[in-house]
Structure 1
Amino acid sequence: MTKPRAWRSPEKIKRCRPRPVTDAPARIPDSKVGQLDALLHESGVLALIDGELEGRPGPKGLPVRTVLVGLLLALHYHQSASLADVCRVLLDEIRAPARSWLGVPKGSCGDEHARIAFSRRVYRSFDRLTTVLDPHRCDRRRRLPADEARDVAAAWEDTDAERKRRRDLLQEVSDRLVLITVRLAHRRGLFKGWRGDIAADTTPIPAWHQPARERRGLASVELTAGWHYCGGSEEGIFGHSASLLVAASRRHPGGHRQAGERVSRHPQLALGLVLDTPGKRIGPNAVHSLTQLAPFGFPTGLLAADRAYTDQITEHFAQPVRTMGYQLVLDYKQQHRGVQGTHQGALLVDGSLACPAMPDALAHATTGLDDKAVRGIDDSRELRDLITAREPYFLRLKESADERGAVRLQCPASGPSPAVSCPRFNQVHRVPAPRPAVVDLTDKRATAAHSAAKPNVPIPQGERLRPLPKSELPRICQKPTITVRPGDLGKLDKFRQDRHYLHPTWQDVYRPERANIEGLNGRAKSHGIDISDPTKRLAHGRVAQTILLALMICSINLHILFSWQQTTGAQATDALHEVATLIGPAARPPDATGLSPPMEPGIRETT
Structure 2
Amino acid sequence: MGFKPVYDYAKDQLGSKDEYEGAQLVEGNWYCPSMPEHLVNATADLIAERIDKQMWIERTRQRTQYLFLPKQAADAEGHRRMMCPAQAGRVQCPLKPHTLGKGVHLTLVDVLPSPVEPHAVCKSGSVTFPPEAGAQLWQPLQHGREHWQRIYFRLRNSVEGVNGFGKDPLYEHFESGGTRRIRGIAAQTLLLAFQLGHANRRKLTAWADAIALNGDRPRRRPTRRRKTRPLGDWTPKGYVTKTDKRTENEPDQ
Alignment of 1:266-281 (within 5 A): none
1:556 aligns with 2:217: no
Match of 2:146 in 1: 504
Match of 2:251 in 1: none
1:325 aligns with 2:35: no
Distance in 1, Cα, partners of 2:99 & 2:23: 25
Q: 1:571 to 1:472 in 2, by over 3 A?
A: farther
1:364 aligns with 2:37: no
1:398 aligns with 2:71: yes
SS in 1 for 2:135: helix
SS in 2 for 1:391: helix
**C-alpha deviation, 1:353, in angstroms:** 0.8
Q: 1:406 to 1:566 in 2, by over 3 A?
A: farther
Match of 2:174 among 520, 528, 531: 531
Alignment of 1:137-286 (within 5 A): none
**C-alpha deviation, 1:566, in angstroms:** 3.4
1:382 aligns with 2:25: no
Q: Calculate the TM-score normalised by the size of structure 2.
A: 0.74
SS in 1 for 2:70: strand
Distance in 2, Cα, partners of 1:411 & 1:432: 11
Q: 1:393 to 1:537 in 2, by over 3 A?
A: same
Alignment of 1:298-447 (within 5 A): 324-367=1-44, 370=47, 380-415=53-88, 418-426=89-97, 431=98, 434=101
Q: 1:331 to 1:496 in 2, by over 3 A?
A: same
SS in 1 for 2:19: strand
Q: 1:567 to 1:477 in 2, by over 3 A?
A: farther
Q: Which amino acid aligns with 1:404?
A: E
Match of 1:455 among 91, 97, 107: 107
SS in 1 for 2:157: helix
Q: Would you say the 8 A contact 1:339–1:367 is kept in 2?
A: no
Q: 1:432 to 1:411 in 2, by over 3 A?
A: closer
Q: 1:553 to 1:411 in 2, by over 3 A?
A: same
Match of 1:484 in 2: 129
Distance in 2, Cα, partners of 1:457 & 1:567: 57
Which segments of 5 or more consecutive residues in structure 1 lack a partner in the other structure? 1-323, 435-449, 573-607
Distance in 2, Cα, partners of 1:432 & 1:413: 6
Distance in 1, Cα, partners of 2:99 & 2:110: 19
Distance in 2, Cα, partners of 1:482 & 1:433: 21
Q: Would you say the 8 A contact 2:32–2:85 is kept in 1?
A: yes
Q: Which amino acid aligns with 1:457?
A: V
Distance in 1, Cα, partners of 2:207 & 2:214: 12
Q: Which amino acid aligns with 2:103?
A: S
**C-alpha deviation, 1:571, in angstroms:** 6.9
Total equivalences in the alignment: 213
**Structure with the larger helix share:** 1
Q: 1:403 to 1:521 in 2, by over 3 A?
A: same
Q: 1:330 to 1:540 in 2, by over 3 A?
A: closer
Distance in 1, Cα, partners of 2:214 & 2:81: 46
Q: 1:365 to 1:565 in 2, by over 3 A?
A: same
Distance in 2, Cα, partners of 1:493 & 1:433: 33
Alignment of 1:21-170 (within 5 A): none
Distance in 2, Cα, partners of 1:412 & 1:405: 21
Q: 1:534 to 1:393 in 2, by over 3 A?
A: same
1:545 aligns with 2:188: yes
Q: Which amino acid aligns with 1:548?
A: L
Q: What CA deviation, in whole Å up to 9, does each residue of 1:111-136 have, x standing for no partner?
A: xxxxxxxxxxxxxxxxxxxxxxxxxx
Q: Which amino acid aligns with 1:477?
A: C
Distance in 2, Cα, partners of 1:419 & 1:403: 29
Q: Would you say the 8 A contact 2:93–2:99 is kept in 1?
A: no
Q: Which structure has the larger Rg over C-alpha atoms?
A: 1
Q: Which amino acid aligns with 2:18?
A: G
Q: What CA deviation, in whole Å up to 9, does each residue of 1:539-584 have, x standing for no partner?
A: 4444543332221111112112222333455779xxxxxxxxxxxx
Q: 1:521 to 1:389 in 2, by over 3 A?
A: same
Identity of matched residues, %: 28
Q: Calculate the TM-score normalised by the size of structure 1.
A: 0.33
Q: 1:332 to 1:454 in 2, by over 3 A?
A: same
**C-alpha deviation, 1:407, in angstroms:** 2.0
Q: Which amino acid aligns with 1:422?
A: C
Q: Would you say the 8 A contact 2:87–2:99 is kept in 1?
A: no
Match of 2:120 among 475, 483, 496: 475
Distance in 2, Cα, partners of 1:475 & 1:419: 19
Q: Would you say the 8 A contact 1:524–1:553 is kept in 2?
A: yes
Q: Would you say the 8 A contact 1:334–1:368 is kept in 2?
A: no
Distance in 2, Cα, partners of 1:543 & 1:341: 37
RMSD of aligned residue pairs (Cα, Å): 2.8
**C-alpha deviation, 1:523, in angstroms:** 0.7
Distance in 2, Cα, partners of 1:565 & 1:401: 41
